[in-house]
Structure formats: C-alpha cells, structure tokens
Amino acid sequence: MKTWVEISRSALRENVDTLRKVIGPSTKLMAVVKANAYGHGLETVVPAIRERVDWFGVVSVGEADRVRALAPSKPILVMGYATDAELGHAIKRGFRITLHSPNAAKKIMQLATAARPARVHLKIETGISRLGFLLEDLPALIRTLAGKKQVVVEGASTHFANIEDSADLSYGRQQLDRFRQGLAILKDAGIEPALPHIAASGAAMIFPESRLAMVRTGIAMYGLWPSENIRQAMEGQGFSLRPALAWKCRIAQIKHLPAGTPVSYGLTERLGRDSTLAVLPIGYWDGLPRAMSSVGEVLVNGHRAKIIGRVCMNMCIVDVTEAGAVAPGDEAVLIGRQGISLVSADEFAAKHGTINYEVVTRINPSIQRLAKP
C-alpha cells in the first residue's frame, strides 16, 4: 500500500488506564469514538478498548451501528443530531439518544412505545450555544414528558466551552452551576437522570468537580493532549499519554535536480541548491493540507525532509538531500516516529495553524488503519 495509518493498541489501553486513575473508580468512563474514532478507525479502536470502558459515544446513528457490531454488550450514546428516520432506527436498536430540542422530543414520543421506550440523555445548553435546551425551556419539556412511559430519561449532559483554552476555570464553573440548576429543575418535576455527565477529556483531568457520574473521554484516549495548559498541569502530577497514531507512506520516485529548478504548481518555490527530491503519493485528498506547502516536514531515514512547493491533490514533493541513500519504496513518516526523530500531531497542527483534533480526524477514512501491538 502506498499510504497507511498505524494504531497502537497498547497505547490506547495505556491511555484509558491513565484516565481511569485520574477520574477514580466511582465515575463511569465513556469512550468517545465519534468521527471514525477521531480518525483512528472505529474497527481498530473499539476492539482494543471495549473491555476497559463502560460506554461508547458516537455522533451519528450510522456510527452507532458500527460500534454495536464491534461491542454488542456496551451501551452507546448518539451525541449528535439524528433525522426522524434515524431516530426510529436508534429506538429499535436500543441506542441511547441525545434529546436536544422540542422537535426531537415530539418525534421521539411518536416513535417510541411503552414496550420499546426511548432511552434519552437530555442535553442542557449552559454556555456553548450549540445543541440543547436552555434552562427556561425545561418546564415545557417536562410537561411534554410528564406521565409518558415511552421515554426513559437515563442521563443529562452539557458541554464546556472554555476548559482547554484557558487556565481560568471561572466560565466552566458558571456552566457547571447552570447544569446543576437544570438538574434541580428536573428533580423538582420528579425526573432524576442516573447519569449526569458534563466533563470531556480536559475537564475530566483538571476540573474534579465536573466528573459527576460519567466522563466522556475523547482526544486524551488517543494519546493527544486537549491543550498545552492541560499537558503541563497533568505531566506536573506525573501523568503521561502516549499517541496511538502514526501516518506513513512510500516514496514514489526520486529526482536529482539542479539549483533554480521550480517545483510543483504555481512555481512558488525554486531550489536554492542542487537537490535530491522525493515524490510522495499523498496530498490534500489524503488529509495533508495544502497549507503545509513549503512549510511541513516529513521523516525519511530519520531525517527531516521539508515539503517543497505546493501540496497537490494526490502528491507532494520533499527535499531528501540530507537524508542519505533514499530509494523508491522507502518509508516516509508524516506523523509519528522514525528512529529518534518525531513529527507529532501537535507539530503537524502548528505548522498550518490548527489543532491536533483536526489533524487526525481529517486523515482520509479510506486510508487503511492497521492495528499494531
């Protein structure tokens, strides 16, 4: 194969075990595997961790179907929007549904029955302005649900807006207070969800009050820190994470070209010296952003090889002049280690002004994911 992604099962398990130590034994752990397990591949990730986690979280009903095939006994929460047809399918299959709007509540009431109830997690909007009921909307929802046996309110959730990006937890505390107000409104109406959950990876690590009955661990489970602030805080306490993903490809061709030769579209870069170039069969279709043109670096023979000129749809060119003897078919590493050298997902992200989440989730899902020990 010309390009592939390697996923370390041992790294995934180590990261889950680390998160277990952080959150303690009384809090359930939901493994968030939405977006094709953050680009790592559902079929690779779920079997590696299913015995170590309590729940799985996905963004769509289609993903829930895939996880059910891989982990039949685990509860699965669909955290995103679902169409009317998808809601019916989710109820039939016993997936947990995020109930986030009056329209969704009405449709679920029509589709579910007392014999086959919908198990829902109410989404309460507390300050991120996304899916969810505002506090003032809850009384109307309560009236809709009152006495209805076709809906079981199993959980309640919200999502923090500013935990990863700030050392100041004041906004997070406001959100937690609003969430507790929402739970109190529900309790006064006789609705007490057994599984309130608010913390994702960042809050689970640095905001203990937010752990509640369950936490939703996404990015940290894959060995990537939610932010530099959180990395420093947790490593200072002796906790570490190990990235599970490496992205590699094969060199397609080697070229020896003189100084002054233009490279790739637009003639945006000319060689400043006689150079040896390697053509890699990978481009922005695969998930290597065009913004990495003349900026990014890959590893060849343990040496850093700069991307020369523009990244193409299916190819890019790198300078391997300093990499020693290089031949077609040799391995190049876009993310990961080669020898003692490393290109991390964080470095990859910083080179074109984004975050590690986007880097790994945008690796084309058609690229094969290979499970490694």
- Long-range contacts for 72-76 (Cβ within 8 Å, ≥24 apart)? 74/50
Tokens 């990730």, residue located: 45
Query: What angle is formed at CA 216 by the lines to CA 214 and CA 222, rounded to 5 degrees?
Result: 140
R_g of the chain computed on alpha carbons: 24
Residues tagged active-site:
34, 265
Nearest to 295 by CA among 358, 340, 224, 343: 343
Element of type H or E holding 367:
none
Residues 298/334, Cβ–Cβ less than 8 Å? yes
Task: Indicate the pairing of strand 55-58 with strand 76-78.
Answer: parallel
Using CA atoms, how far apart are residues 34 and 201, in angstroms rounded to an integer?
14
Tokens 């397990």, residue located: 37
The residues that bridge with 304 in the sheet, in sequence order, are 299
Nearest to 53 by CA among 214, 231, 202, 219: 214
